Structure 1
Amino acid sequence: MKRPIRLSMAAGGFLFACALGLSTACAAMLPPSTLKGKTVLLVTGATPADEPNDDALVRQHLEALGFTVKTVDDATPESAAKGASLIVISSTANAHRLGDRYADVAIPLFTWNTFDYPNLGMTGQELHHDFGVIDPVQHYADSFMILYGYGANTTSDISKAVGLKPQLFGTLYLEPGNAGWGKPGPGGTVIADFDGRPDMAAVFTYERNASMLDRRTAPARRVGFFLANGNFHLLTAVHGPAASDPQLRSWAIGLKLFDAAVRWAASPPPPVAPYDPAALDARLGHAAHGKKLLFVERVNAGEGREADEHIVAHLHSLGFEVDIADQMDPQTRADGEDLVIISSTCSKYKLANKYVDVKVPVISLEGLYADAMHLAGRQRYVDYGEHGEEKESDDPPESYLDIVGASSPMAAGLPPGLVEFTQHPGVLKWARPTPDAIVIATLPNASAERAIFGYPKGSVMADGFVAPARRALLPLDNPSYDDLTVQGKALFDAVVLWSIGGGA
């Protein structure tokens, strides 16, 4: 007998509304006024008298935002963080002395101590590859590069708060100095980078339970920021008459980015509905009722035909009005539909760029259509590919996925880590999306090969294409729907639910 789930009407109603995207409070950042009185533990260290140190200015600024700031040195035990709403670690703290002291503390953490990134699990361990510090003594030419950041993500709460665009902006005023960068793990979100390289992130985040490095998951929100000891006062800002110039307003956002990232870290993460396939089916049925869905397939296909029939039957059972289109039919078949799903039985050579620009959500089950759909770049087996395809893949068949974005409703409430997606090893597709994508799962031991991800409406996809509606990838091969595990079917349903707006 199944044990009944007991939720109060308030809690249950809130989770249900969040799952359906009906509550605007589900994942909202705290307004600035609510920061007042929240305690920040500011962890600092000593610097020589002749070296710049902006820790006092940072403290004053955090207090001006409303925080109550408690300053401790880098030898203080982590128990000092008890009761704090946020831990802030300065680059003046000695990373060797800090070690992994704050790595497992379930309190949000904001840091610009680049050398501490590996200790926290926020990056790998290798200097110059996984993280690095640029300074004008050793890297004079590169030290000018850090004055210019590039908006890598435009759809996160932080990005929206500062109006971040996929273009250059000014990080610091024109004075070459030190700055740090990191290469986050598979569950990280790159907000801004240097040189247009997401592997050289200037600002990056982890949601609670997101996969970091070395099989760690974030115990609470984590933020890495590009500052160094003495350049907080150089963060760009715009005041006076210049503030009326929209170009300058979108350029001088260094301080706004700092404030938004701090506020995001201190905000509660969105609630996550627990893994419950039956409840997920009920939510999807509620959201799907009366909606029109176009299922694009290779009519009369050989391999995968029966699986396509079963997908359509499942979608019908949920309440969708399903129309079937052949891959050769014109794109106008999508007119009046609420969702388009492209079967893996389709050939991109027959699809011929169809459904790329339709103004309704699209889910592609055909990973090899990722380049045409702007889900990823254009190089096969570099930007997209597959595991297990005989004579076409260097990688063996696979049946597992690695959940790296457990906080998203697309993860179906599954915990971080490996999950059996299909009952038997077979062909699984992957692609490498832009930083605007919400990444849910990768292939095992291949963190750059993203198997499930979604682009929100308005996000910047590959080739600078702006998503006219939600876009998602599921890694199914032709017959593999019929081989999905219970968890695999839950992930399928969760992606469909998110795509039609039934998830955050």
Structure 2
Amino acid sequence: MHLPKRQLSRQHTSSLRRLALTAAFVALGLPMLAPVSSSAATSEAVPSTAAQPIARPAVWYVTRLAHADRAEDDKVRAHLESLGLTVTMVDQSAPVADARGAQLVVISSVVSARDMVGTAYRDIGVPLLTWESDLFDSLRFTGQRKGVDFGELDKEHYVNVVNAPSPLAGGVAAGKRWVYPRDGEMGWGRPAPAATVVATIPGEPEHAVLFGYEKGATMDYDFIAPARRVALFLGNRSFEHLSPDGQALFDAAVRWALADARQP
């Protein structure tokens, strides 16, 4: 039986769209709904609840809700939602115990590190991503000497990718890469030997700007990571200025951390 060329074209286009959608969901590690046949879709015997919503990984996003820079966090939240994640944005004063049902905890640099010294997020058995360098010591990412074990540059827009094969690199090539179009804030830390270091400040190999710890890895202070931990270089208002390479590093950090949450 020969189908008309117009019908063949529509089928080909539909097949390409299904392949593209499948690839996007696989990249995020999210389940795909089973396809519904055209006859089932039009049958009165099929209940309207036949297609159940896809479970979206839950993100617990910690910031200061009343801070002026919270507007930047709203842009990060919108991006995370575009990746297929459900985001709950909370103030830094919210009970840490409420985050235990999440699959990823994000701590923005908009929080007040002074008010979160000794934070219980250190011990939570949920993957955690932060770009607040002043919390690196409290969270056991690094030692406690500011300016030696962790710190922040006011003016930098390059990073040096030193571990391009790592999933944390997001496919960004090795070498010096610009992540901002012009100089901006960039946090850094000197992690423990067990960390996976992906990028550093150019010319300063001991100052890591993207690094992570596997669950069970020994962090600083001989602290054992309860789940994956990731440190990123962003400042309060850096996200919206990220270059394509910077965006790829951010997305890779999120996906790498979430992969731990999906493991049994």
Q: State the match for 2:76 in structure 1.
A: 311
Structure 1: runs of 5+ lacking an equivalent: 1-278, 389-396
Where 1:323 maps in the other structure, the secondary structure is strand
Where 2:156 maps in the other structure, the secondary structure is coil
- Among 205, 213, 222, the residue aligned to 1:455: 213
Q: State the match for 1:13 in structure 2.
A: none
CA distance in 2, matches of 1:436, 1:281: 31
- Among 276, 279, 284, the residue aligned to 2:28: 284
Deviations 1:103-143 (A, max 9, x none): xxxxxxxxxxxxxxxxxxxxxxxxxxxxxxxxxxxxxxxxx
Note if 1:475 corresponds to 2:240: no
1:335: Cα distance to partner? Answer: 2.0
Q: Is the 8 A contact 2:59 2:105 kept in 1?
A: yes
CA distance in 2, matches of 1:341, 1:498: 13
Distance 1:381 1:280, change over 3 A: farther
CA distance in 1, matches of 2:76, 2:93: 20
Deviations 1:413-453 (A, max 9, x none): 11110111112211100000011000000011111000000
CA distance in 1, matches of 2:156, 2:55: 34
CA distance in 2, matches of 1:472, 1:280: 23
Distance 1:442 1:289, change over 3 A: farther
Q: 1:89-100 maps to which residues of 2 (within 5 A)?
A: none
Where 2:207 maps in the other structure, the secondary structure is strand
Note if 1:486 corresponds to 2:232: no
| Paired positions, count | 217
1:332: Cα distance to partner? Answer: 1.4
Q: Is the 8 A contact 1:289 1:318 kept in 2?
A: no
Q: 1:135-154 maps to which residues of 2 (within 5 A)?
A: none
Where 1:371 maps in the other structure, the secondary structure is coil
Note if 1:360 corresponds to 2:133: no
Deviations 1:436-489 (A, max 9, x none): 000000011111000000000000000000000000001110010011111111
CA distance in 1, matches of 2:195, 2:25: 25
Note if 1:332 corresponds to 2:97: yes
Question: Highest relative contact order (Cα 8 Å, sep 6+), 1 or 2?
Answer: 2
CA distance in 1, matches of 2:127, 2:24: 20
Alignment TM-score, normalising by the size of structure 2: 0.78
Deviations 1:135-155 (A, max 9, x none): xxxxxxxxxxxxxxxxxxxxx
1:285: Cα distance to partner? Answer: 6.6
Q: State the match for 1:438 in structure 2.
A: 196
1:286: Cα distance to partner? Answer: 3.1
Q: Which runs of 4+ in 1 moved over 6 A?
A: 279-282
Amino acid at match of 2:223: F
- Among 411, 427, 440, the residue aligned to 2:169: 411
Q: State the match for 2:16 in structure 1.
A: none
Deviations 1:186-231 (A, max 9, x none): xxxxxxxxxxxxxxxxxxxxxxxxxxxxxxxxxxxxxxxxxxxxxx
- Among 50, 53, 65, the residue aligned to 1:299: 65
Over the aligned positions, Cα root-mean-square deviation in angstroms equals: 2.0
Note if 1:380 corresponds to 2:146: yes
- Structure in which a larger fraction of residues adopt helix: 2
Where 2:217 maps in the other structure, the secondary structure is coil
Q: 1:154-193 maps to which residues of 2 (within 5 A)?
A: none
Q: Report percent identity of matched pairs.
A: 37
Deviations 1:378-409 (A, max 9, x none): 10010000111xxxxxxxx0001000011101
Bigger Rg over Cα: 1
Q: Is the 8 A contact 1:280 1:412 kept in 2?
A: no
Structure 2: runs of 5+ lacking an equivalent: 1-22, 32-53
Deviations 1:203-261 (A, max 9, x none): xxxxxxxxxxxxxxxxxxxxxxxxxxxxxxxxxxxxxxxxxxxxxxxxxxxxxxxxxxx
